[in-house]
């Protein structure tokens, strides 16, 4: 039932999207594919394992996301903007001012967001979830350097089936990781987040979103090239994602565009990616592995994709687990 009219999105008109349109619950089934070779969870695992160390070129603390600029921050200093994105997530969680709290990072990379928030606040404990062992090894080393190992736990699991206790978390987030769940609604990710959160707790998702199920030909092609290069099945469609939140018991769903907040850090990409490419090609004598080459391609594509304002946005989505 997948449409062939949407060249950049593998899940355009599917049973899932029809259910969303009619307010019906979404079954946890893999999204339909219009491609002979869809991105698989194994591809995503292999990609992050292979390029784990390459992310250090972007951030010494392994912040594997764009930065958040605000007045007072130097737009030429990337690390400060990256940490500010972590703190923007912390503010959006709206945790109680006093007392201990437990939070979960779903798709944590090397745990940079959790590390920032735990370092900033005594009494905060964090559990991070990734299925990439190499990322947890990096996270453990950086935790020790920051002196926060006793308040961080890194588990290796699928973030749609974590095995963690129900209603354990006072807050949860996903920074540029919800996109790795299946389908344009990311319903499997949302269902697990809903299960893990306490009533009244907040979910914060920072990610790129498609604004239409069927982007234009050029935007669709660029989205597919970007997604395949970073081992992403597809970006979420913003309206599908927010509908899925409501269908899984979330209330007060709010969407805030961060397009201008992330632009200063995104503008670091051309110089950094070119310098990184030349240096790595020199060290490897021109022989980079396929995923490392794709990682470089995706870096350039991410900046180009952001130019399609009518097709794509970079947003912070917040929602409250209903009581």
Indicate if the pLDDT at residue 5 is higher than 90.
no
Element of type H or E holding 279? helix 269-283
- Any idea what the Cα angle at residue 116 is, between residues 110 and 117, rounded to 5°? 115
Q: Residue 8: its pLDDT value, please?
A: 54
Indicate if the pLDDT at residue 304 is higher than 90.
yes
Instruction: Indicate the domain borders of the chain.
Output: 15-63+96-321
Q: What's phi and psi for 132, nearest 5 deg?
A: -115, 110
**Residue 322 corresponds to which tokens in the numbers above?**
């209903």
Written out in words, the top-level CATH class of the domain with range 15-63+96-321 is alpha beta
The β-bridge relationship of strands 169-175 and 101-106 is parallel
SS3 151: helix
8 Å CB contact between 85 and 315 = no
Write the pLDDT tens digit of every residue in 146-201: 999 999 999 999 999 999 999 999 999 999 999 999 999 999 999 999 999 999 99
How far is the first Cα of the chain from the last one, in angstroms, to the nearest whole number?
Answer: 36
Q: Residue 239: its pLDDT value, please?
A: 98
Q: What's phi and psi for 105, nearest 5 deg?
A: -105, 115
Indicate if the pLDDT at residue 140 is higher than 80.
yes
Write the pLDDT tens digit of every residue in 18-65: 344 444 444 433 333 334 479 999 999 999 999 999 999 999 999 999
Residue 285 pLDDT grade (very low, low, confident, very high; cuts 50, 70, 90): confident
């Amino acid at each position: 039932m997948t449409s062939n009219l949407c060249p950049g999105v593998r899940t355009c008109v599917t049973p899932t999207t029809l259910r969303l349109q009619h307010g019906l619950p979404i079954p946890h089934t893999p999204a339909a594919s219009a491609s002979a070779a869809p991105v698989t969870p194994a591809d995503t695992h292999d990609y992050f394992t292979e390029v784990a160390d390459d992310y250090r070129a972007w951030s010494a603390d392994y912040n594997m996301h764009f930065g958040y600029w605000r007045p007072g921050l130097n737009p030429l200093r990337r690390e400060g903007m990256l940490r500010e994105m972590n703190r923007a997530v912390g503010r959006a969680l709206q945790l109680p001012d006093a007392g201990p709290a437990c939070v979960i990072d779903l798709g944590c990379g090397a745990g940079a967001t959790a590390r920032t928030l735990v370092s900033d606040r005594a009494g905060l404990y964090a559990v991070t979830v990734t299925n990439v062992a190499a990322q947890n090894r990096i996270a453990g080393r950086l935790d020790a350097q920051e002196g926060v190992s006793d308040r961080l736990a890194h588990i290796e699991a699928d973030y749609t089936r974590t095995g963690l206790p129900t209603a354990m978390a006072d807050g949860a987030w996903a920074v540029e990781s919800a996109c790795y769940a299946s389908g344009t609604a990311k319903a499997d990710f949302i269902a697990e987040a809903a299960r893990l959160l306490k009533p009244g707790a907040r979910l914060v998702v920072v990610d790129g979103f498609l604004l239409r199920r069927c982007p234009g030909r050029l935007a669709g092609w660029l989205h597919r090239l970007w997604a395949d290069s970073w081992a992403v099945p597809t970006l979420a469609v913003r309206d599908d994602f927010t509908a899925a939140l409501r269908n899984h018991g979330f209330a007060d769903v709010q969407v805030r565009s961060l397009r201008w907040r992330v632009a200063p850090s995104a503008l670091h990409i051309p110089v950094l990616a070119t310098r990184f490419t030349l240096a790595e090609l020199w060290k490897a004598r021109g022989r980079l592995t396929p995923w490392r080459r794709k990682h470089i391609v995706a870096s350039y594509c991410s900046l180009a994709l952001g130019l399609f304002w009518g097709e794509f946005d970079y947003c912070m989505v917040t929602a409250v687990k209903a009581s």
